[in-house]
Amino acid sequence: MSVLLEARGVSKSFGGVQALREISLTIRRGEIYGLIGPNGAGKTTFFNTLTGLYSSDRGTFTFDGAPLSVKAPHEVALAGIARTFQNIRLFANMTSLENVMVGRHLRTRAGVLGAVLRNRSTRAEEAAIERRARELLDYVGVGSRANDLARHLSYGDQRRLEIARALATEPKLLALDEPAAGMNATETAALRGLIDSLRRDGVTILLIEHDVRLVMGLCDRVAVLDYGEKIAEDVPEKVQKDPKVIEAYLGGSLA
Amino acid sequence: MKLDLAAWRGDARWSWAGIALIAIALAALPFVVGRGFGNSWVRVLDFALLYIMLSLGLNIVVGFAGLLDLGYIAFYAVGAYLYALLASPQFGIHLPFWVILPLGAAVAALFGILLGAPTLRLRGDYLAIVTLGFGEIVRIFLNNLNAPVNITNGPQGIAQIDPVRIGAVVLSKSQSWFGVEVPSVYLYYYLFVALALLVIFITVRLEDSRIGRAWVAIREDEIAAKACGINTRNIKLLAFAMGATFGGIAGGLFSGFQQFVSPESFALMESIIVLCMVVLGGMGHIPGVILGGVLLAVLPEVLREGASVWQRGLFGRILIDPESLRMLLFGLALIAVMLYRPAGLWPEARRRREFAAAAGERKGTRG
What percentage of chain A reaches a pLDDT higher than 70?
Answer: 98
Which distant-in-sequence residues (6+ apart) come within 8 Å of A241 by Cβ?
A: none
Q: B6 touching A, CB under 8 A? A: no
Q: How far apart are CA B185 and CA B199, in angstroms?
A: 20
Return the pLDDT at B352.
56
Taking alpha carbons only, the member of A163, A152, A154 closest to residue A182 is A154
Contact (CB, 8 A) for B158 and B85 = yes
CB B84 within 8 A of CB B149: no
CB-CB neighbors (< 8 A) of A70 in chain B: none
Question: Is A212 an 8 Å CB contact of chain B?
Answer: no
Assess contact for B321 and B256: CB atoms under 8 A.
Answer: no
ipTM: 0.93
Q: What is the pLDDT of residues B123-138, one digit of tens each?
A: 888 999 999 999 999 9
- Contact flag B223-A82 (C-beta cutoff 8 Å): no
Cβ–Cβ gap B214/A105 under 8 Å: yes
Query: How far is Cα A210 from Cα A123, in angstroms, rounded to an integer?
Result: 44
Question: Longest Cα pair distance anywhere in chain A, in angstroms?
Answer: 70
Q: Which of residues 293-332 of B touch A (CB under 8 A)?
A: none
User: Residue B352, exposed/middle/buried by CB under 10 A (0-12, 13-18, 19+)?
Assistant: middle
Nearest CA in chain B to A109: B210
Q: How many helical (H) and strand (E) elements, i.e. helices and strands, does chain B have?
A: 14, 6
* Residue pairs between chains A and B whose CB atoms are closer than 8 Å: 112
Q: Check: CB of residue A236 under 8 Å from CB of residue A215.
A: yes
Q: Is B1 on the interface with A (CB under 8 A)?
A: no
Residue of A nearest to B218 (CA): A91
| Helices B286-315/B322-340 angle, 10° precision | 140
Q: Coil, strand, or helix at residue B177? A: strand
Please indicate if any CB of chain B lies within 8 Å of the CB of A15. Answer: no
* Chain A nearest C-alpha distance from B362 (Å): 15
Work out whether the CA dihedral B273, B274, B278, B281 comes out positive or negative.
positive
Assess B108–A contact: CB distance below 8 Å, yes or no: no
What's the DSSP call for residue B324?
A: H
User: Rounded to whole angstroms, how far apart are CA atoms A137 and A116?
Assistant: 28
In tens, the pLDDT along A45-104 reads 999 999 988 888 999 999 999 998 767 889 999 999 999 999 999 999 999 999 999 999
Q: With cut-offs at 50, 70 and 90, classify the pLDDT of residue B14.
A: confident
Average pLDDT in the A197-201 region? Answer: 93
- Strand order through the sheet with A221-226: A81-83, A173-177, A204-208, A32-36, A221-226, A229-234
Hey, is the C-beta of A90 within 8 angstroms of any chain B C-beta? yes
A177 touching chain B per CB within 8 A: no
Using the Cβ of B211 and the Cβ atoms of chain A, whether some distance falls under 8 Å is answered with: yes
Identify the band that residue B157 occupies on the pLDDT scale cut at 50, 70 and 90.
very high
Distance from CA of A98 to the nearest CA of B (A): 7
How far, in Å, CA of A94 to CA of A146, rounded?
10
Backbone angles phi, psi at B198, to 5 degrees: -65, -45
User: Taking CB atoms and an 8 Å limit, are A74 and B205 in contact across chains?
Assistant: no
How far is the C-alpha of A205 from the C-alpha of A32, rounded, in Å? 5
- Stretch A123-145: mean pLDDT, rounded? 96
Is the CB of A92 inside 8 Å of chain B's CB atoms? yes
User: Rounded CA gap, B238 and B61, in Å?
Assistant: 9
What is the per-residue pLDDT across A138-184, written as a single tens digit (0 to 9) for each?
999 999 999 999 999 999 999 999 999 999 999 999 999 999 988 88
Nearby residues of B342 by Cβ (< 8 Å), 6 or more positions away:
none
Q: Give the mean pLDDT of B55-69.
A: 96
> A95 in contact with B at a CB cutoff of 8 Å?
yes
Neighbours of B178 (CB within 10 A): 5
Q: What 3-state DSSP class applies to B344?
A: coil
Cα–Cα dist B313/B18, whole Å: 42
Task: Please answer yes or no on whether B210 and A91 come within 8 Å at the CB atom.
Answer: no
Task: For residue B220, give the nearest of A91, A112, A115 by CB distance.
Answer: A91
Q: Determine contact: A108 vs chain B, CB below 8 A.
A: yes
* Alpha helices, H only, A67-211: 73-79, 96-103, 112-117, 120-140, 155-167, 185-200
pLDDT at B353: 54
| Contact with chain B for residue A53, Cβ under 8 A | yes
CA distance B203 to A62: 42
Of B254 and B123, the structure prediction assigns the larger pLDDT to: B254
Contact A125 B357 (CB under 8 A): no
Q: Do residues B147 and B86 lie in contact, with contact meaning Cβ atoms separated by under 8 Å?
A: no
Burial class (CB in 10 A: 0-12, 13-18, 19+), A43: buried
Q: Which one of B2, B9, B219, B220 makes the best mutation probe of the A interface by having the most chain A beta carbons within 10 Å?
A: B220
What is the model's pTM? 0.91
Residues in chain B with CB shorter than 8 Å from the CB of A104 are 210
Amino acid, res. B138: V
Tell me the three state secondary structure of residue B347: coil
The CB density around residue A98, as the number of other CB atoms within 10 Å, is 24
Helix (H, G, I), strand (E, B) or coil at B163: coil
Residue of A nearest to B358 (CA): A152
**What integer is the mean pLDDT of B102-113?**
97
Q: Under an 8 A CB cutoff, do A82 and B227 touch?
A: yes
- Do residues B83 and B93 make contact, with C-beta atoms less than 8 angstroms apart? no
DSSP A9: E
Asked if A89 is an interface residue toward chain B (Cβ–Cβ < 8 A), one would say yes
Contact A95 B220 (CB under 8 A): no
CA distance to partner chain B, nearest, from residue A154 (Å): 15
Longest dimension (CA), chain B: 76
Structure-derived torsion over alpha carbons of residues B307, B308, B314, B315, reported in degrees to the nearest 10: 130
Do residue B350 and residue A51 have CB atoms under 8 angstroms apart? no
Searching chain B, which residue's CA lies closest to the CA of residue A175?
B227
Residue numbers in A near B214 (CB within 8 A): 102, 105
Query: With an 8 Å Cβ cutoff, is A115 touching chain B?
Result: yes
Given an 8 Å threshold on Cβ–Cβ distance, is A91 in contact with B216?
yes
Q: Given CB atoms, is B205 within the 8 Å cutoff of chain A?
A: yes
pLDDT digits (tens, 9 = 90+) for A34-46: 999 888 889 999 9
Q: How confident is the model at residue B320 (pLDDT cuts 50, 70, 90)?
A: confident
Show the CA angle centred on residue B361, arms to residues B359 and B364, nearest 5°. 110
- Among B205, B210, B350, the residue with its CB nearest the CB of A108 is B210
pLDDT above 90 covers what percent of chain B? 71
